[in-house]
Amino acid sequence: MGNVIGIGASPKRKEDQRFLTGRGNYVSDIKRPGMTAGVFVRSPHGHAVLRGIDKSAALASPGVIAVLTGEDVAADKLGSLPCGWGISDAKGVPMKEPPFPMLAQGKVRFVGDMVAFVIAETPGQANAAAELLTVDYEVLPSVVGVLEAVRPGAPQLFDDVPNNICCDWELGDKAAVETAFRKAAHVAKLSLVNNRLIGNPIEPRAAIAEYEPGTDRFTLWTTSQFPHVVRFLMGALVLNIPQHKLRVVAPDVGGGFGVKQFHYGEEAVITWAAKRVMRPIKWVASRSEGYVSDRHGRDHVTEAELALDEHGKFLAFRVNTLANMGGYLSTFGPNIPTNLYGPLLGGVYTTPAIYCNVKVVFTNTVPVDAYRGAGRPEATFVLERIVDVAASEMGIDRVEIRRRNMIPKEAYPYQTPVLVQYDSGDPMGCLDGALVAADVKNFGVRKAASASKGKFRGLGYSTYVEACGLAPSRFAGRLGARGGLYESATVRVHPTGQVTVMIGTHNHGQGHETTFAQIVSEKLGVSFENVDIVFGDTDRVQFGMGTYGSRSLVVGGAALSKATDKVIAKGKKIAAHLLEAAEVDIQFEAGNFSVAGTDRIKSFEEIAGAAYVPHNYPLEVLEPGLEEQAYYDPVNFTYPGGCHIAEVEVDPETGTVTLVNYTAVDDVGTVINPMIVEGQLHGGIVQGVGQALFENAVYDEGSGQLLSGSLMDYCMPRADHMPMMKVATHSTLCTHTPMGVKGCGEVGTIGSPAAVINAVVDALAHLGVTHVDMPATPNRIWRLLQNASLPVAAE
């Protein structure tokens, strides 16, 4: 028995012992015998013809072992970096999918596009040689913004992609929406930009590759959120390495946020190169290199219209978006602004007709892909902003208009007009809870106090829902997914009763080693300390799709729960034999197998021992050993949601927005570890606040240079930007996951940007301000106030 720490408890995180004592094991900590250093030479131009590369000076530089370019890749007939999703337009025409070579061939298409890989004895020598590489570029005009990219005459990235449009995607009933708009009493309109973001995990990307000629096996250590997927994509589709000859290890990883859930060209190049030079190679990105090579997020330009009847009921919603893909299609790229965006435009409302058109556009920028929230923050932002615009224009209170349109708790399961069916939820309950927690009734007092100091105070709401727990494979397959999205877990009970779990998700900050151990401790009645969670190594873990889309607990935890159930089921058979009872009479409770209604009992440890020392064991009908595996493919997405309320104070003299209060009441289903959930909510909210107030990836139109290319110019949210947050959960149980869980990794990032911007607009509404684009920087707010002709009184 011992120390069971189960569901609902908040033990300190197991993994923090090693992290907080400096004993983590990250890729850049790993050293291999004979290891060399690799450096990527990247394009300094946004768009250029690659006329030739002269390797001679670099090759002659001290310590240089090899210099590889796109020509070498072509000569070895290696594959293009694959895109995991294939979307189609309304007529079923597949998206344009130009090749994405791992080292540029013929052209470079963004600043940071890789043109060569230099391998030397030391990083210093590799860097010195990289500077000697002569690359002959014919510089072309760059196009970086989506509006500019689709204009006639815009620079064209690919010969066979007219107007740079990858796909003209749509969702929903266009005719029904048009009909509803004709009947509308009021139409609210909104144009907005969803700003481009850079993920900035604290650990930069890194990789080590090694080839063992004796076994003809490759090993890649990489900063990845999904090592098995890298093994599949890279081995099967890029490098033609059989799966059994390729091991991918993602050890401790210092944050991902989506940035590390793609198969990157660097991984393929370094693995391929390791065999060519017959030496292990290590590459560690600098922060600056990450800025021009880590996949970016968001970057939409949107026109939205909401049709309402005279009572403020939503009749129809129409959204037209241009979404930036960057220079090539990344692993999930085209899926994010389409399948993870359009289906969320229903929000928590009963809007009967929705139509969404998304033009997915190539530009001379870093490829854009999933970043925490991925599509859902963008959808939530459009919807929650336009609800406020409609309320303001119709003179209806912002909370009231939400109530009038919210899906009532009793109406679940609720089928939206945009594919998804919400299984459970209580948006009104979250709203009511948040109104109290945020002390909204005394907001007027606080606003007056701010006014007395010359400040404008505003309150903003975001009542949102998201879809996560990626994903039901069959559903995803219909939408264009080219892989499955299930998860797997193996529960290995040792002869002494301790447990090792091998799971296909990846822990890079989420606390899986703790949360999953709690599930096992609860279900098997074993000590929390006696459960270890193994992940991130294709040689140790059977299979897995990794961690992203708030899926680890929802899908991986479900697989773990199922595998644990199988252990109990087998344990009952063993116990029935040992206790000389019928299997149906064996019950398992608190770590003991017993015969119902008797005091005959066998502990979990005794059963484990019997399974591995099967002297008295039903070998004729039962295999020895106690290890079970389960794969779980969800039947639906999960739909966490909630209500976020932001309160800001604006200094009209400088335009500075200060977030002064933040309240979140979220429905994340069953909570396994409240402390970890709270931490996820805190982190997610701060990331969303970062998008709303600070973060912006800015490119120079024409040259394609990234102007916000370092932490000196790209503003990340900091501790002193945040007030103490009030976070709480108001959970309804997911009806289809084994434990009722919904996932919590992204809710904060999804709910918060709209809440913050709605608060900023509220603070400035009396001046006629109706919208503020993100990030709401002091410069931008001051300019809005200038245009609003605000008389700023002298003090």
619/711 with CB nearer another protein: 711
Min CB(299)–another protein separation in Å: 16
State both tokens at 701: 């139109």
**Three-state SS at 270:** helix
60/707 with CB nearer another protein: 707
Beta strand segments in 121-201, E = 134-139, 165-172, 186-198
Sheet with 107-108, strands from edge to edge, namely 107-108, 48-54, 134-139
604/714 with CB nearer another protein: 714
**Closest-CA residue to 532 (of 558, 498, 490):** 498
**Closest-CA residue to 83 (of 206, 237, 210):** 237
Min CB(646)–another protein separation in Å: 18
472/709 with CB nearer another protein: 709
106/124 with CB nearer another protein: 124
649/666 with CB nearer another protein: 649
185/707 with CB nearer another protein: 707
Cα(529)–Cα(521) distance, rounded to whole angstroms? 9
Min CB(132)–another protein separation in Å: 13
Number of H helices, E strands in the chain: 20, 28
Q: Which amino acid is at 181?
A: F
476/706 with CB nearer another protein: 706
Q: Which amino acid is at 474?
A: R
Cis, peptide link before residue 408, omega less than 30° from 0: no
Q: Which amino acid is at 256?
A: G
Min CB(376)–another protein separation in Å: 26
411/716 with CB nearer another protein: 716
Cα(489)–Cα(512) distance, rounded to whole angstroms? 13
Min CB(717)–another protein separation in Å: 10
Residues of the shown chain interacting with another protein in the complex, contacts defined by CB under 8 A: 124, 127-128, 131, 288, 653-655, 694, 696, 698, 707-708, 711-716, 777-779, 782-783, 794-795
Min CB(24)–another protein separation in Å: 22
139/698 with CB nearer another protein: 698
CB atoms closer than 10 angstroms to residue 448:
10
Min CB(368)–another protein separation in Å: 19
Min CB(716)–another protein separation in Å: 8
CB atoms closer than 10 angstroms to residue 550:
32
**Three-state SS at 702:** strand
* β pairing state of 281-284 and 36-42: parallel
Angle at which helices 512-524 and 557-578 pack, to 10 degrees? 30
State both tokens at 87: 């979307």
Q: What is the largest CA-CA distance in the chain?
A: 93
Min CB(773)–another protein separation in Å: 14
State both tokens at 367: 């490829």
Min CB(693)–another protein separation in Å: 9
Cα(591)–Cα(523) distance, rounded to whole angstroms? 8
Q: Is 46 left (phi over 0), alpha (psi -120 to 50) or beta?
A: alpha
**Closest-CA residue to 685 (of 298, 377, 407, 249):** 377
Cα(25)–Cα(598) distance, rounded to whole angstroms? 50
Min CB(287)–another protein separation in Å: 10
State both tokens at 779: 């410069």
Q: Which amino acid is at 493?
A: V
Min CB(790)–another protein separation in Å: 12
Distances 422 to 54, 203, 551 between C-alpha atoms, Å: 58, 36, 16
204/337 with CB nearer another protein: 204
76/131 with CB nearer another protein: 131
**Three-state SS at 662:** strand
Min CB(50)–another protein separation in Å: 23
130/157 with CB nearer another protein: 130
Angle at which helices 398-405 and 427-437 pack, to 10 degrees? 160
Q: Which amino acid is at 146?
A: V
Contact (CB, 8 A) for 2 and 530: yes
62/141 with CB nearer another protein: 62
Min CB(302)–another protein separation in Å: 22
Contact (CB, 8 A) for 190 and 384: no
41/563 with CB nearer another protein: 41
Min CB(780)–another protein separation in Å: 9
What Rg do the C-alpha atoms of the chain give, in angstroms? 28
Q: Which amino acid is at 526?
A: V
396/715 with CB nearer another protein: 715
Host H or E run for residue 391: helix 376-394
For residue 574, list its beta bridge partners.
Answer: none
Cis, peptide link before residue 471, omega less than 30° from 0: yes
DSSP result, 601-635: EEEHHHHHHHHHSTTSS-TTTS-SS-EEEEEE--S
| Helices assigned H by DSSP within 227-375 | 227-230, 265-277, 287-291
Angle at which helices 376-394 and 747-764 pack, to 10 degrees? 30
Min CB(18)–another protein separation in Å: 25
Min CB(270)–another protein separation in Å: 22
Min CB(322)–another protein separation in Å: 22
635/792 with CB nearer another protein: 792
Q: Which amino acid is at 361?
A: V
Cα(233)–Cα(216) distance, rounded to whole angstroms? 19
439/653 with CB nearer another protein: 653
